[in-house]
Structure 1
Amino acid sequence: MSSVENEESLETQVIEFTKQLENADLDDTSKASILLHRATALESLNLPEKASQDARFALNLNSTLQPQVKQLLDRLNAVASNTTTSKPQDPRVASFQHHLSSLEGADIAHIRSFVSSSDFVSILTACGTVDTPPRVKSLAFMILTKLFNPAAAEKYPFTYIIEQCAACFSHCIDQGKNEAKLLAYNTLIAIFQTSMTVGSAILCQEGTIEEMMDVVEFETVPVQLAVAQVLTIASSDKSCRTQILKYAVNWLVNMAGRSKTDPQLKAAAGTALTKLKAQPNDETTTKKEDQPTESLEDTMRKMHLTNESLVDSLQQIIKSKTSDASLVLNAVEGLAYACLKPEIKDKLGKDAEFIKCLSTLALSTTNNADANSNPLLFGIGTIFSSLTMYRPVMDEQQKQMKKLRDLANAKQQAAGGPGKDEADDPRENDDAVESRIKLCVSNGAALALMVLSKNTSVNLRAVAAQTYLNLVTPQSVRGQLLQQGIVKGLLPLSRSDIVASQALAKLAITADPRIAFQGDTVLDLVRPFLELCKDANSQLRQFEGLMALTNLASIDDRVRLMIEDADGMTVFENLQLSNNDMVQRAATEMVCNMTFCDPVFERYSDPDRSQNRIRLLMILSDGEDPATRRAASGALAILANSPGACDMMLKVDKCYERIARWVDEEETVDVQHRGIEILRCLITHQKDVVSHLVEEQVDNKLIALVKKCQVQVVRSAAMEVLKLFVANGVKLQA
């Protein structure tokens, strides 16, 4: 097995163990065992921190695992020691590991003591210092995450924690030195990244932003850049936005609008503005008592800074292929927020060069273990997701609500108000989205998503799955996507993400499985597609899962046997009772397909087990929908080769009336053909049925088919059955 295949196998194991842990019925012993297995897989994936966490948690749940846990931790420590033989390990590693462990289940007194200690200041400093070793910084972030996000918030000393963090921030700022200010702002960014609540509480203290902006013009460029990055991340919080709109907008607009601004600072300011612009209009344009007299739009207009020019500058950074990681990250984040707007979505979605550069940027992270690659990939994935996202399909209630909203908007327009509903923008129509999708597919978007799909981040994988689903929606690009190897990216995702399963189902519905899914891949698709069929919240997913399985099962006996082994028939039989005609039809087609599977055929032929199944097929074969009648009669035609199935058909109420309708002159040719085959089997197995069939004029209907049907195979089959009538003493009318 290659190293890549081995890594994919290990990732699959981690996903499977994680899924098992979500089972609420697991006892502590079972959880501990699964955690230890996951820790071993994480160790092999070179993720020692996560492996250590799982191992320690397993030990807490089951103390009898101490020998195995000790062995694993010894191996992890040995690896850590071998990687640092050239220089001694940073003493903060052991200290931070100790504090991380001590926070597990710590009481309030311990937490208050910890955050008032010099060790806590050291942890904050490690987060805010640029050249902190990755291992040390990782542990520091883990400590802040655990400290700021407790399992139980009741009586938790949040206020005290915020006070201590704010005191450290103020102490650094008050020193007046550039290094101290950089440390303060970078630490605040780290706090925001681990808890938006704590970060906003510090920044929104009375006078903090106001004082920060009063002196920002006199700061060095690195400090200004740090300020801009604080404002960027804080723009996601509503209370911070109010303060930023009041005190910081002028400076941000100046930095983004000046041609001579440092490129990194210009990009950071532009990113902050795009995030502010992406907020609801009432926050950025409506004047309130505690806001400035000028709105964000007014301020930008005075500087001749438009949305388009703002996006242009960020777009050019991506197209310039600069190696400045911070600059690129800011540009990507800004564009990710900006492209939520239809006009920006349209602009970016028509720029083939930009899309290609964005795809190349994602691919360039494959050999980069830098922690910044995840935020970058998330931004890239968000842009692709926005460009390719279709307008949601509305149910009847939503359609009625939209009519009322349209009526209200029309009245607003008549009264001189805006009255515009962004959802009606033609740039959001299906044709516009499909045009953007084609350009994305032609310029490497699917290859970029491959990088996201292999990431261990749950958020990145979710973005990849949704964007894959967007890409495969137009049938016109599915062949191209298959050629680009989209299945390799989707298959690992489908094991834990139903959206990825739906994307695969769309491919499987229209593609020839023998070409699209090589080797045993078709077998790997069975369970994801069955999960779609089980999704009671989405009839579309049920339909697409059924259609995909029908296509796979039609060409491979192994698929049918695997479906049977996974209890797929129970799923299909339940969906035959769906109130959705398309789902009912697809489920019946699947049942028909599965009757070629020997175990299914035998079960459906057993009168002791399947009378109700045959009755349902008889009812569906006599329904209003032609396609459902064809599928149900097709299943009965296959089963009719069994005497037991024939016996069950004749026990169904009004069976002869139903049988006679299959050969009506007005019926579809497919149903007529299946009906004739069932008649042949019934007469062969049950000769006494002939008189009942004659009572229903079946012989005359067959004669009419022989005379009038245009399909030779149907006429020939009808003549063969008429011979059976004659052989059983029926005199045919001329």
Structure 2
Amino acid sequence: MGSGGEAVTLATHHLLQVMFEALTEGMRREIRGKEEAILPAEPSRELRSMLRHLLEMLPVSKVSGAGRDSAINLLVKQVPRKSQRNPDNSLTLWVIDQGLKKILEVAGTVAELSNGPPLTDNTHMSCSVLLSKLYDDLKSDGERENFNRLCEEYVQHHFGCSGLESKLRSIQAVSVLLQGPSDVGNRTLEMSGIMDTIISLCASQDLTHQQVAVEALIHAAGKAKRATFITANGVALLKDLYKKSENDRIRVRALVGLCKLGSAGGTDFSMKQFAEGSTLKLAKQCRKWLCNESLPQNSRRWAIEGLAYLTFDADVKEELAEDSHALSAMFQLAKSEDKTVLFAVGSTLVNCTNSYDVDKPDPQMVELAKYAKQHVPEEHPKDAPAFIQQRLAKLLEAGVVSALVCMVKQESPALTEACRECISRVFLALVDRQEDRGMVVAQGGGKALIPLATEGTDLGKIKAAQALAKITITSNPEIAFPGERIYEVVRPLSSLLALDCTLLQNFEALMALTNLAGISERLRQKIMKEKAVPKVEGYMFEEHELVRAAATECMCNLVLSTEVQKLFVAPGNDRLKLLVLYSGEDDERLRKAAAGTLAMLTSEQPELCARIPATTSHWLEILQALLLSDNLELQHRGAVVALNLMKAERGLAETLMESEVLEILSVLAKGGATEQSAVAKAAGQCLDAAVRYGIIKSNHGEGGGETLACRA
């Protein structure tokens, strides 16, 4: 894997990946010939042996850059726990004990210096992801303290050496830590002398020294406390580097440092770090460098980093959305082999679409804060919904969907969970308007959302699932998700039927599942397999009328399945009673859904008809109200229920014919307008059934007219 040939490296990476999966999963999966397979007695020992080889090859100078990246990628995929429910993180603890310093050796390597192993543009980002994954997999304060101690020892060791190259190595390692486990990075940054050295190296005449120091300064400015310190001590230095340096690599990095400091107030319109118009000038320069194809990609990506910070300002968002050349250049970089740009592009798009979470404070608390002369965040006028919709339209026109689809396809540690969440947020914003959903689906957005809804942060998965729900509601699911892909949509939608999701998310998931449940029995079986039916039943009791109606509509399609019908047939439950009562509610949408479900159940399961009179003493009044409704759909549902009751038992038929239902059906059977033909047909069949029972008889009056009389 460490050979120079990229094809050999990639093939070996895939082979090792399969070997790791076989050792970690054992032979639990159904694999042909597994009975004859020779299995190691202790898979964990074999696994650790393979991991030891990967760790040992990381700092070796003979290993190619691509091979080193592959080793890091395998460690990212195989070492941390797949689920926090698994209590065993011993593999992570073992890797930290055996190999953390080797990982830091790679993280601290400065590519421009000759004494380090060869790196690619993605190596440092991959190290950041690996370190972050390992740190997040720790369970206790003691384990985290040990991780901090090992990192501090490494940084202190190199920083304490007399040579300048060792100090650069420690600063580079701190930069990687700041991009990964930032809490650890901030602790190492606070060690004596490191921040001062970074500031002083920014003024160095050596380009490599300047570059390492400026990058560290950029990553250090992430915290408001640190940004304040750098604003006081380093802004003048960054401005000098930006204006006076003759090297574009240094200038663009200094620009990003200024951008990051200028955005320290976030979206708060009243918290501006620089003078009016300064952020717009910085953003203009970022866009200029972004569009400059003569610059190397690793320099142009820093321009996107700058925009990721500056686009907190709504004026910058507006100018970027208007600049089609800058958008095109950004999307081309997102599709390139440079994986380090992914998060910056994702963050920029989240800011432009305003798809970040905003907590709107209680108006009374705002007034109280103003009275107490406390700072209250202000929203920029150009962050109003009308401006956001215009920006979304311009992004769609510029090809944002195809860029996002390419980003999702990247198999790289740089596509972190945070990056996935950014992409999910942007997709959700793009499908907010119904008229834009077709374009998103046509360019591959539906397919890209499925992996986003199954992997990543909990919030990111919810956002992606909600976007899938919006698409499924308004588009034909068989076209939006062709073939087997339609079955993959069910699980994300079912995940939205949770108490920690909003009512809007619950409502949209129910509507989407309603559409899927009406397509085929196989899809209904898939919905049942995901245990969504009990959740749907639970939402039928929800206080919010739209959610309650949507859940009942979903149940109306689900009862097409025999297995769901059996739930209503089973003795000792009030499911049927709920449907009868809902058929008499004021909410017309709920009445339609409940009456439709009742009509379906009484058609498929005739034994339920005898139970209806026992559900409530008002059942006959509810049925009469359906038959007398002005809404033809409710009339038809009522007529079908009445017909099913008539067919089920003679006693039920007699009860109906002895009430006002006879007169109502007689009127409905005469029909009239063409649209009433279905109601008239069902009503006529009810009367025919009564005649066959001998409950009523047909009298032919004068002029050929026909009247009905009850024999009782």
Q: Same fold (TM over 0.5)?
A: yes
- Once the two structures are TM-superposed, the CA of residue 722 in structure 1 deviates from its matched residue by 4.3
Aligned to 1:484: 443
2:484, 2:151 → 1: CA distance? 55
Aligned to 2:34: none
Alignment deviations for residues 620-652 of structure 1 (CA, whole Å, 9 cap, x no partner):
111121111001101111222232021121221
Q: Is the 8 A contact 1:253 1:269 kept in 2?
A: yes
Mapped pair 1:348 → 2:320: yes
Q: Is the 8 A contact 1:603 1:610 kept in 2?
A: no
Mapped pair 1:227 → 2:213: yes
Which letter maps to 1:153?
A: D
Aligned to 2:86: none
- Once the two structures are TM-superposed, the CA of residue 698 in structure 1 deviates from its matched residue by 2.2
Residues 1:199 and 1:495: Cα distance change in structure 2 (over 3 Å): closer
Residues 1:133 and 1:274: Cα distance change in structure 2 (over 3 Å): same
| 1:289-688 equivalent positions in 2, closer than 5 A | 296-297=273-274, 306-365=278-337, 373-390=338-355, 401-404=361-364, 407=367, 421-422=378-379, 425-454=380-409, 455=411, 457-496=416-455, 497-534=461-498, 536-604=500-568, 606=569, 608-609=570-571, 612-641=574-603, 642-654=605-617, 655-664=619-628, 666-688=629-651
- Once the two structures are TM-superposed, the CA of residue 668 in structure 1 deviates from its matched residue by 2.2
Which letter maps to 2:686?
A: V
1:594, 1:159 → 2: CA distance? 54
Aligned to 1:241: 227
Aligned to 1:10: none
In proportion to residue count, which structure has more helix?
A: 1
Structure 1, unaligned stretches of length 5 or more? 1-41, 59-63, 287-294, 366-372
- Once the two structures are TM-superposed, the CA of residue 234 in structure 1 deviates from its matched residue by 0.4
Residues 1:427 and 1:219: Cα distance change in structure 2 (over 3 Å): same
Alignment deviations for residues 496-553 of structure 1 (CA, whole Å, 9 cap, x no partner):
3333222212111111123222222222222222222345533222222221122122
Aligned to 1:11: none
2:21, 2:124 → 1: CA distance? 17
| 1:681-700 equivalent positions in 2, closer than 5 A | 681-693=644-656, 696-700=659-663
1:50, 1:153 → 2: CA distance? 34
2:25, 2:182 → 1: CA distance? 27
- Once the two structures are TM-superposed, the CA of residue 563 in structure 1 deviates from its matched residue by 2.6
2:50, 2:486 → 1: CA distance? 39
1:410, 1:185 → 2: CA distance? 43
Which letter maps to 2:236?
A: N
Aligned to 1:273: 258
Aligned to 1:332, the other structure's residue is in SS state helix
- Once the two structures are TM-superposed, the CA of residue 46 in structure 1 deviates from its matched residue by 3.0
1:562, 1:636 → 2: CA distance? 23
1:336, 1:662 → 2: CA distance? 58
- Once the two structures are TM-superposed, the CA of residue 74 in structure 1 deviates from its matched residue by 8.0
Aligned to 2:14, the other structure's residue is in SS state coil
Residues 1:218 and 1:562: Cα distance change in structure 2 (over 3 Å): closer
Aligned residue-pair number: 642
Which letter maps to 2:651?
A: D
- Once the two structures are TM-superposed, the CA of residue 203 in structure 1 deviates from its matched residue by 3.9
513-522 vs 668-677, which moves further: 513-522
Aligned to 2:696, the other structure's residue is in SS state coil
Alignment deviations for residues 412-446 of structure 1 (CA, whole Å, 9 cap, x no partner):
9xx9x997621xx3422333222222222222222
Which letter maps to 1:375?
A: T
Q: Is the 8 A contact 1:204 1:240 kept in 2?
A: no
Aligned to 1:533, the other structure's residue is in SS state coil
Residue of 179, 186, 197 corresponding to 1:200: 186
1:158, 1:593 → 2: CA distance? 54
- Once the two structures are TM-superposed, the CA of residue 461 in structure 1 deviates from its matched residue by 2.4
Aligned to 2:346, the other structure's residue is in SS state helix
Which letter maps to 1:196?
A: S
Alignment deviations for residues 111-155 of structure 1 (CA, whole Å, 9 cap, x no partner):
9xx99x9x9996775467655234998998799779988654339
- Once the two structures are TM-superposed, the CA of residue 351 in structure 1 deviates from its matched residue by 2.4
- Once the two structures are TM-superposed, the CA of residue 453 in structure 1 deviates from its matched residue by 1.9
1:623, 1:44 → 2: CA distance? 65
Residues 1:530 and 1:624: Cα distance change in structure 2 (over 3 Å): same
1:103, 1:268 → 2: CA distance? 38
Q: Is the 8 A contact 1:196 1:237 kept in 2?
A: no
Aligned to 2:574, the other structure's residue is in SS state helix
- Once the two structures are TM-superposed, the CA of residue 45 in structure 1 deviates from its matched residue by 5.7
642-651 vs 697-706, which moves further: 697-706
**TM-score, normalised with respect to structure 2:** 0.76
Aligned to 2:29: none
Residues 1:50 and 1:428: Cα distance change in structure 2 (over 3 Å): farther
Structure 2, unaligned stretches of length 5 or more? 1-9, 27-38, 80-88, 456-460, 698-706
1:77, 1:209 → 2: CA distance? 35
Aligned to 1:46, the other structure's residue is in SS state helix
Which letter maps to 1:46?
A: H
- Once the two structures are TM-superposed, the CA of residue 251 in structure 1 deviates from its matched residue by 1.3
- Once the two structures are TM-superposed, the CA of residue 692 in structure 1 deviates from its matched residue by 3.5
- Once the two structures are TM-superposed, the CA of residue 265 in structure 1 deviates from its matched residue by 1.8
Mapped pair 1:262 → 2:239: no
Instruction: State the superposition RMSD in angstroms.
Output: 4.7
Aligned to 2:696: 729
1:393, 1:125 → 2: CA distance? 37
Which letter maps to 1:186?
A: Q
Aligned to 2:85: none
Q: Is the 8 A contact 1:192 1:200 kept in 2?
A: yes
Residues 1:129 and 1:489: Cα distance change in structure 2 (over 3 Å): same
- Once the two structures are TM-superposed, the CA of residue 595 in structure 1 deviates from its matched residue by 2.2
| 1:118-157 equivalent positions in 2, closer than 5 A | 126=109, 132-134=117-119, 151-154=139-142, 156=145
Aligned to 2:483, the other structure's residue is in SS state coil
1:188, 1:86 → 2: CA distance? 22
Which letter maps to 1:240?
A: R
Which letter maps to 2:400?
A: A
Alignment deviations for residues 551-572 of structure 1 (CA, whole Å, 9 cap, x no partner):
1222323212333444443232
Aligned to 1:46: 14
525-534 vs 631-640, which moves further: 525-534
- Sequence identity, in percent? 23
Q: Is the 8 A contact 1:355 1:443 kept in 2?
A: yes
1:523, 1:53 → 2: CA distance? 25
- Once the two structures are TM-superposed, the CA of residue 675 in structure 1 deviates from its matched residue by 0.4
Aligned to 1:640, the other structure's residue is in SS state helix
Q: Is the 8 A contact 2:607 2:648 kept in 1?
A: no
2:258, 2:14 → 1: CA distance? 39
**TM-score, normalised with respect to structure 1:** 0.74
